[in-house]
Each structure stands twice: as C-alpha cells, then as structure tokens.
Structure 1
C-alpha cells in the first residue's frame, strides 16, 4: 500500500522570513535567490516547513510505494551557506555546475557561501532545469539515483 508523505506548506510569509535573516550577506543572498527562483519557476514563494522557501510543487512516487509532494524548487539561508535544493540530484546538472563558480554540493543540495562569487545566469539555468524535470509529471527517482534528469521516469 502506498504511503503518502504529507505536504508541509505553512502560512508563514516567505518575504518576512528572508527579511528576518540576521546575517547581512546571507540576507542579501536570500533576497537574490527569492527573485531568481521566482523568475526560473514562474511560481510565487511559499514557506515549506519552518526554514525552506519553496516554489511550486511536484509529486513523487518511489518503487518502495512511498509517495508525496514537495517543493519543486527551494532554498534555505543557513548559517554556513545558502542551500539550494535540487531534488532531481546535482548529478543531473554536472555540466552547468562546472560553470557555476565556487560551491559545494551534496546529493540533492547545492551550498553557496556567497552569491556574488557565482554566475547567477548559470544558477538560474540549473534551477529552471531542475524545476522543469520535477514538474513534468510524477517524479520517480531519489536525488541519489539521479543523473541525467531527462531520463527520469515520469
């Protein structure tokens, strides 16, 4: 039997959340990410949980039977770095990320310490491609299984 993970959208104001970021550099980056992701997705920002600014929504279904909804694009201004969530996996964006500038990454996360040091056009390209892959239908891969986003089952 499929287990559906509940969506955790909140009524909190994402612009107020960003305005309340205490570190000036991180707040500047969060304001830039807010505008960039709105352009890339065409969606308004919403709070996903307590600390993720999300844009749009995608449905996922895994072979295990787990299903749910999540933000199709999102970021969080963390203390150490701004985190950009790429739920289709960073491996799906290897070529673009090689052109991005200074960053580190996890399986589905891109960590950016200073947005003034990266190519924002490339970042917008990555966010748009990830959003497009995730919202094309029901997404069936976990980020660690990603690779080429165009090959993901829909």
Structure 2
C-alpha cells in the first residue's frame, strides 16, 4: 500500500528556516512566511522535512489514491525557492504572466528571491489556489 511521504509534522518552522544556509534565502523565507500567513490566515506547518505549508486539504483520485496536502506553501531550497500552488487552476497561468522573474515546473513555481516578484500577484496566486482547492476538494 502506498504511504504518503510528505506529511504535516510538529517540527518547528522557525528552526527549519534558521537551518537554511544562504542568508538571502533565509531572508526571503521569512518574508514569504509573513506573506503566506497574512494572506491565508493559517498557521505555518512543516510538511515533510522542507515544505512550509498553510492549511490542508484531503484529496481522493478516481484511482483510489488519496492523501493530505497543504493548500499552498513554499520551500527555500538550495537552487531556488519553490512555491506550491494548485496546478489545475486555469487562473494560475494568467496570474503568472504578471508575476515577475520566475520559472515553472510540473507542480512548482520557482523564484530566486522575493524582490524578483510582484507580491500583490503572489497574494492573488495564494488566494486563488486556496479557493480552487477548497472548491475542488470539499471535505470528503
């Protein structure tokens, strides 16, 4: 049976941020912590060993696979900062056009630092992701 690897933990978000080697990444992580907390109204939780998540939802696919995930989040990784938003939301693509300097992967949006992006657009991405996931995965 599949066991979900990235689960909410009781580890300290502040201790995790303090363990980030790069002072610039640490500074961006604190800024993002404030922005995500203020925008979502959720307390930050560490998911797995390196994702700072806000809120949570329970998903269940037609295949029967199910689990829990943060509504939104970020991770100050060595190369870039990963931002986690809902991937199936079509409004995400439009919002990213005005987001600033970033790259995208399958599920993540990558930035180097907060100063490279439009914080207003970031807040819209956060809000839109929370709305989309709450509508897509109402309490099962």
Q: Distance in 1 between the 2:47 and 2:74 partners?
A: 10
- The 4+ residue runs of structure 1 with deviation greater than 2 A are 3-7, 87-92
Tell me the TM-score normalized by structure 1: 0.81
Tell me which residue corresponds to 1:23.
22
Distance in 2 between residues matched to 1:60 and 1:13, nearest whole Å? 25
Alignment of 1:123 with 2:122, yes or no, is yes
Are the aligned partners of 1:59 and 1:137 in contact in 2 as well (CA < 8 Å)?
no
Give the secondary structure class of the aligned counterpart of 1:26.
Answer: helix
Hey, what's the Cα distance between the residues in 2 that align with 1:36 and 1:80?
21
| Partner residue, 1:53 | 52
**Structure 2, unaligned runs of 5 or more:** none
Question: Residue in 1 aligned with 2:111?
Answer: 112
Partner of 1:37 in structure 2? Answer: 36
Paired residue for 1:75?
74
The equivalent of 1:101 in structure 2 is 100
Where 1:110 maps in the other structure, the secondary structure is strand
SS of aligned partner of 1:124: helix
Given that residues 4 and 67 in structure 1 are in contact (C-alpha distance below 8 angstroms), is that contact kept between their aligned partners in structure 2? no
TM-score under structure 2 length normalisation: 0.89
Q: In the aligned structure 1, how far is the partner of 2:136 from the partner of 2:93? A: 23
Distance 2:123 2:86 in 1: 15
Distance 1:73 1:30, change over 3 A: same
CA drift at 1:65: 1.2
Residues 24 and 45 of structure 1, relative CA distance in 2, 3 Å threshold: same
Which residues of structure 1 form unaligned runs of 5+? 140-153
d(CA) in 2 for partners of 1:127, 1:53:
14
1:79 positional shift: 0.7
Equivalenced residues, count: 139
1:22 match: secondary structure: coil
